[in-house]
Structure 1
Amino acid sequence: MKSKIIVTGGCGYIGSHTVIELIENDFEVVILDDLSNSTEKTLERIHKVTGVTPAFANIDLKNETETNKVFVAHNDAKGVIHFAAHKAVGESVQEPIKYYKNNFYSLLNSLEAQSKNGINNFIFSSSATVYGTPETLPITEKNETQRPFSPYGNTKKIAEEILDDFTKSNEAFSAISLRYFNPIGAHSSGEIGELPSGIPNNLMPYITQIAAGVRDKLMVYGNDYPTKDGTPIRDYIHVVDLAKAHVIAIKRLLKNDQEKSLEFFNLGTGLGYSVLDVINTFESVTNSKLNYEITDRRAGDVPCLYASTDLAKEKLGWTAERELSDMISSSWKWEQNLRNESK
């Protein structure tokens, strides 16, 4: 019997890559997604890569009744990997209530429904934003969490506090919170990748859309930071490396290998790349020129963020394997496939 794992938000960017890794590790997958920032066509893409079409329920996890129904129907599941959340930083500043309502209701309803049905293993999709502006680098899990700049980031910080309270109150329940740095890249097949709705909020899809002629110009926010070239430095990680970490984490819970009822792990490369590093590497890898312009700093941006991944290596046996050039070439392959599909 294959172990069944419920993946909320499994049609999204990181969720879909994780579903592929779960299937390839012989798990049975059930995707719960309201398709608010994804598409059901992702199921076809997953099938192209794996030969398997995962079970799917189009469900809004803010609806408590419907959430309970679907967890009752899949009460033989062994664990939940929870990606379901709104994630655009800028939009969260403009519409904070939308973000707090969606990200908390979906989390709370999932936790309550799964615990009622004896599904006591939970992986949470968190973010390095919980560290705010770190006082020391690289960022370790011992760094104090701080009030993030955006409502989106704050939903991640508060969600971890909710998980802390919940695991303390429920001895049977175990959770791992994975704190991502900056996921980019796409599956090597070119069949799965980041597909933002509207104008991209993240650097890489904006770059690939400019190279594909969809967008005109990239604005680089500030070149006067105290970094090697004046542009902000971030820890970019390949989405497939990230997805593999989720599989390792859920296996850790299923084997009862966790050391605490709630564990936290940074997921990054431990390397920092500047915005100009990413632009220059893209131009080199793809042999193309990008139209970009240096402009003023953006409110809330910090000069430098990169992870210490020692704990994930020690406890999970996980380390990122793919380099920046791999992240960029796979992103560009995905973008080109998208444009070919639309012709």
Structure 2
Amino acid sequence: MSAPADIVARLRLIRSDKIGPVTYAQLVARFGSAQAALDAIPDLARRGGGRPGKLATAAEVESEITEVTRLGARYLFRDDDAYPALLAEIDSAPPVLIVSGDTALLARPTVAMVGARNASAAACRFARQLARDLGQTGTAIVSGLARGIDTAAHDGAFDTGTVAVIAGGIDIFYPPENEERQRAIGTKGLLIAEQPPGVEPRARHFPYRNRIIAGLAAGTVVIEAAPKSGSLITARHAADYGREVMAIPGSPLDPRAQGCNQLIREGATLVQTAEDVLEAIRPLHLGPARPSRQRQAVAEEPAEAGDSERRAIRDLISPTPVPVDELVRQSGLPAAAVQLVLLELELAGHLARHAGGRVALA
């Protein structure tokens, strides 16, 4: 049996080239539906001075839906009631998640725990105990199912509730030694993937995964991390989202502690116990009210832009990322008109979006 036409159209738009979460939301808000957005993309890209990327076909999406169902997983769209409310608050929230397991965990207060893959034995033991202690208070623990601290955090919270966000498809086991653990979490806990089934995790996928981990949680705890590690990327995402950033201090003689000590110097909360963590996240502990569908869609009044407005906005953009608000201020144009031109440029392949609502020439 075929999937509903709206679901197919939404997945086609999500899986098409050059369509990220922000672009998806703006297209649906402007054109009213995913199908109407798909129909409009060729003209938008032409106005942006390029060609559209490859659009996903209905057959490709139907095949994906069949595989997700076969795997015992399901889709959570951003406007579904079960979609995590904290994650829905961020601009770059995935339009759809593929999940397997107990989605009731998404309604609990949630803490992210991340850290070094080559973590010390003492740090792994500490992470397991901290996750266990937090879990016993009804807090769900989210992490990325990597070696080291992530694995220890999942193990500590396995009996009380853990959420694993993976970088590849929901049927891909990475690292391989965590296959049994991933299968168990997908049954008793909750397994989340942004990528479709069959997608092997690549380096570019891990920062995407990290933003989901930070977005799901009221706060992120970092336990051992090198100064330029993925764990610090997750912590910085959390700070950007207005969430609590916490770190476990370590010896200055251990390189694995340098990232945590650096975070504390920059203002992260020093924590040592579950009570410290709960005190730090208390202002967000119950989570936010669910954003309205209108807010999620980033809806604005439709606006058009003429050639002179397009030239003015293009002249302001360079290879250096700049906030969209700054483009609005310097151009003196309505925000909706600026957003439309940026959308055209992005679909034409001339614009790249960066963290913090910044854009630059691609």
- Under a length normalisation based on structure 1, what TM-score does the superposition of the two structures give? 0.26
Kindly indicate which of the two structures has a greater share of residues assigned to helix: 2
Which one has the largest radius of gyration?
A: 2
